[in-house]
Chain A
Amino acid sequence: MLTWLILLPVVGTAVIALIPRRRTELHLPLGTALSILPLALAIYVFYVFKPVPGYQFTEFQPWYEPWSIAWNLGIDGISMPMVLLTTILVPIALGASTRITDRTKEFVLYTLLLEAGMIGVFLSLDLFLFFVFFEAILIPMYFIIGIWGSERRVYAAMKFFIYTAFGSALMLAGIIALAITHSQQFGTTSFALFDLMNLELGLGAERWLFAAFALAFAIKVPLFPLHTWLPDAHTEAPTAGSVLLAGVLLKLGTYGLLRFNLSLFPEASVDAIWIMGILAVVGIVYGAAVAIVQPDLKKLVAYSSVSHLGFIVLGTFALTSGGLQGAVIQNVNHGLTTGALFLLVGMIYDRRHTKQIAEFGGLQKVMPIYAGFFLFMIFASIGLPGLNGFVGEFLVLVGSYTTLPVLAIVAASGVILAAIYLLWAYERVFTGIPDKDENKVLSDLSVREVSLLAPLATLVLLLGLYPNILLDKIAPSTEAVLDHIEASTDYVVPEPGRLGDVLVAKPLMAEGD
């Protein structure tokens, strides 16, 4: 079944490839329709997914035995939300791409290939396979930014590619090192995540390997100070590219840190709590501060991503139940809200061909529905209680207060800064009287555009009001990660960091608030 999750987009590309190039009117609608298929399958997986620790629906097929590489797939509470998020965002991103009229066929092909790669990353339990997907994603994304982006697209695409490729190259060396260490200790090479989790690495080697993996993922996240590729890539990418970049590609980094760094190098992870935590918090504050002064709406959202993803990294390295659960659910939240914000920026760009905040003003009067959606997503992004952002940020802050209290307090300021830059931007763009003539004649959202935003808004509200629909399925897997760390190191999650502590001693939770 999981194989089909990866193969359905590939089948989609094959179908699109067969459609002649001159039938341009068919490519986009058909591509969007085809990308519904993986979504349907992902929803089914979500539905039958049991809230238990460990991987479900595992598949194993040797790929090349002498190297012991295998088509080894599985899904757990950490990867399931990511797969769901990916399959939700791809049809929306394609649906939002009607402005792409040049080489539509290739655009749809690359997007579907990108989807296959992204799902593959989340499902791989074999490090070789994981790396193949992780690196293969660069190719379609490179083309999406480089061909359909705005003026400085070539520069941005190149920067994106080289930055991320550099990080993953060192990770490749790390993967080779792990497999060979396995053959030294157990007689056979292995790339399976389970096997490699049991290696006796020694602290020195473990730290190096942790660094190699963390570098690859930190560039992807991106963690301060490795974030410089992100604003360029985001600003230049077409709307669909930005949505998928912010929605899913950045999550490959946070997902990788959670899945691989914590599990493979528990000792080094425990040592790195402070370093990673500080980098995360610097990112939160720095991203927010830079976002405040951005004159470009898209860049503002891009820098807000740097800030928001800091929360996810902080939660991951808090090494508490709350932190990890918050990190996982915040991955989803950020994908939904930032994805939606990029869509919204794209929609106004389609109408006005500018993203400069100063060019707008008073749009509320002209485009009330648009303004409504924008405000709603801003509130979600700030973390207004009742919307999804609140759940994730709250869990992260509570979770990290137990282990990294100082950082949690500083990070909380990021929430306030988010309110400042987002609401200020809203004020400048939407409130007041429309004084520019171009702004007075803007048309409000079409039915198509509303139908793209509505599902995201619904999910934002659903996850805000009833997060347990997801958290119940996440929790067993994040607890398993903590169990593994506790079993293989001296680290003990301080009270009340574990889920059990919180459930028994509810009042303590209030302190972390």
Chain B
Amino acid sequence: MATPEISWIAILPELVLALGAAGVLLVEVQWKPKATVLGGIAGVALVLAAAFSIAQWVQAGDAVEVGTPGNLVVFSGLVVMDGLAVFGRFGLLAVTGFGLLAGWRYIEGLGRRGAETIALVLLATAGFSIMVAANNLVMMFLGLEVGSIALYVLAGMSRERARSDEAAIKYFLLGSFASALFIYGVALLYAGTGEFEILGMRRFLSQFVVFSPAVILIGLGMVIVGLGFKVSAAPFHSWAPDVYQGAPAGLVGYMAAMAKIAGFVAIARILLTGLSSLDANWLPIVAGIAVLSMTAGSVLALVQEDVRRMLAYSGVAHAGFIMTGVVGGSTEGVLFYLVVYALQLVGSFAVVAVVSGAANSESDLGAYRGLGRRSPRLAGSFTVLLLGMAGLPVTSGFIAKFGVFAQAWSSGFEWLVVVAVVASVIAFAFYLRIIVAMYMDEGDAEGVEVPGTIGWVLAAAVGTTILWGILPGSLLRLAANALPL
């Protein structure tokens, strides 16, 4: 057996990220520099990873143009360099960059442990990045675990807070359970098809008639459940509110957005390419999860008194909306939605981090009373982000929702769209509750100073929310071209 050829370009982004993580730790041990230096290293790693991703994007475009897409499957089928992978990674890198900026004050406050945090963030990104590019399901599992374990640790970073410990334990236990389900599902899929590779499964299913697909279907179900945990879709969402509430405010946005992007790209890749011929079997499951997530998320968010828990349940609802896009059968709407939502999520938690303060205290709705008067810019940014997540027009959230709804409608899931539009109206109510607290309640919320790094994050999140709401083409075109193989 010949040595498999090594296509460096395919894994350079992940390599750079992993090296960056190692570099941060080594530099810390050797020179004990200021946190800014470590941040600089992380920044360089992210920029390099993005640059290599652009090279991949060009290569993917060329290969599709000359009709040799097979060249994009490298490392003996472990990794692909298709548009979906590159677009997904871009999303992850952007979220990482903004996530580090949003959490920078927290990281600085950690002192010497800041280096660990930065390294863990880079490692998580490397893991999820390999997950979105994986063609082999075992490879995908490895990426998932590298990313998830880093997130478990990050959730428990604030060791002095009991809630943070609780969050880490809960996240770890339920997350490992989900990972176990996923890998068991992969094993069953292998038993049924004889393939670990997603493209191989598609080949197998198109060539052979499977007489007793029970094994495949159970495997498929377990994979969906496992990934459903990661993206906090109902009924697998029970960890999300506690983790969002307990984990360090500066990092929650990053953690949640990463899991959403990676999880949904994986779901789209497995269901829409590998097992697309079994759609008669998985469509009802995914549609059911979508309905549950949208309704449960929206309704439960209504009764929360804590902004972080509210955002957690809103995340459950958003998982449902994105599932609607998966039901629609195209990656375009899903990818657009993911990027738009991820940036709004990071921005929102940046606001939460500012309001909760360096003390990382609780984020009760009461803390937001009267914020509109005391910190008009901060409240204004949060308002735009909330309206964006609510999906009101002139924000990117509306375009995103419209995209997935239209897709689901054209694939014949009219009823799902009707449920979805009703759920989004219920969701308006709790986004409005936060806005009411900020602008219409008189409160003693103190004016807060917005650190410069968070100012940048908010500018980017608010800017893209409005930009893509008015000129969605700039991102939609990319999402439409980011096709899986």
Contact = CB atoms under 8 A, between A and B. Distances in A.
Nearest to A172: B421
A410 interface: no
Given A146-B439, A183-B410, A166 B422 contact: yes
Contact of B393 (A64, A103, A136, A161): A136
Given A135-B393, A166-B425, A173-B417, A64 B473 contact: yes
A131 B406 CA distance: 14
Contacts of A128: 402
A169 interface: yes
B54 interface: no
B409 A180 contact: yes
Contacts of A166: 422, 425
B394 A136 contact: yes
Contacts of B450: none
B436 A146 contact: yes
B472 interface: yes
B244 interface: no
Contacts of A176: 402, 405-406, 409, 417
Given A64-B473, A180-B409, A183-B410, A169 B425 contact: yes
A169 B421 contact: yes
A177 interface: yes
A138 B406 contact: no
A147 B440 contact: yes
Contacts of A65: 473
A162 B425 contact: yes
A139 B390 CA distance: 12
Given A131-B393, A136-B392, A179-B406, A146 B440 contact: yes
Contacts of B440: 146-147, 153-154, 157
B421 A139 contact: no
B421 A173 contact: yes
Interface class of chain A by DSSP: helix
B418 interface: yes
Interface footprint category on B? 20 to 34
A169 B410 contact: no
Question: Which DSSP category, helix, strand, loop or mixed, fits chain B's interface?
Answer: helix
Nearest to A65: B473
B210 to A, nearest CB: 32
B428 A170 contact: no
Interface in B387-431: 387, 392-394, 398, 402, 405-406, 409-410, 414, 417-418, 421-422, 424-425, 428-429
B436 A172 contact: no
A170 B440 CA distance: 29
Interface string B374-386: 0010000000000
A204 B405 CA distance: 22
Contacts of B398: 132, 135
Contact of B429 (A139, A146, A158): A158
A142 interface: yes
A170 B429 CA distance: 17
A172 B402 contact: yes
Interface string A99-135: 0000100000000000000000000000010011101
Contacts of A146: 436, 439-440
B422 A180 contact: no
Contacts of A64: 472-473, 476
A373 B477 CA distance: 58
B406 A180 contact: yes
A20 interface: no
A7 interface: no
B439 A172 contact: no
Given A146-B436, A180-B410, A172 B425 contact: no
Interface string A449-489: 00000000000000000000000000000000000000000
A158 B393 contact: no
A135 B439 contact: no
Contacts of B417: 173, 176
Contacts of B436: 146, 154, 157-158
Contacts of A177: 409, 414
Given A136-B394, A146-B439, A166-B425, A161 B406 contact: no
Given A131-B393, A136-B394, A147 B439 contact: yes
A229 interface: no
Given A136-B393, A139-B387, A169 B422 contact: yes
Contacts of B441: 154
Nearest to B417: A173
Interface in B341-393: 373, 376, 387, 392-393
A172 B387 CA distance: 17
Contacts of A135: 392-393, 398
Smallest CB-CB A-B distances: 3 pairs: A169-B421, A132-B393, A64-B473
24 contacts: A63-B473, A65-B473, A67-B406, A128-B402, A132-B393, A135-B393, A136-B392, A146-B439, A153-B440, A154-B441, A161-B432, A165-B425, A169-B425, A172-B402, A173-B409, A173-B418, A173-B421, A176-B402, A176-B406, A176-B409, A176-B417, A177-B409, A177-B414, A179-B406
Interface of A: 21, 63-67, 103, 128, 131-133, 135-136, 138-139, 142-143, 146-147, 153-154, 157-158, 161-162, 165-166, 169-170, 172-173, 176-177, 179-180, 183
Given A157-B436, A177-B414, 18 more contacts: A21-B376, A65-B473, A66-B476, A67-B476, A132-B394, A135-B393, A136-B394, A146-B436, A147-B440, A154-B440, A158-B429, A162-B428, A162-B429, A169-B422, A170-B422, A173-B405, A176-B402, A176-B409
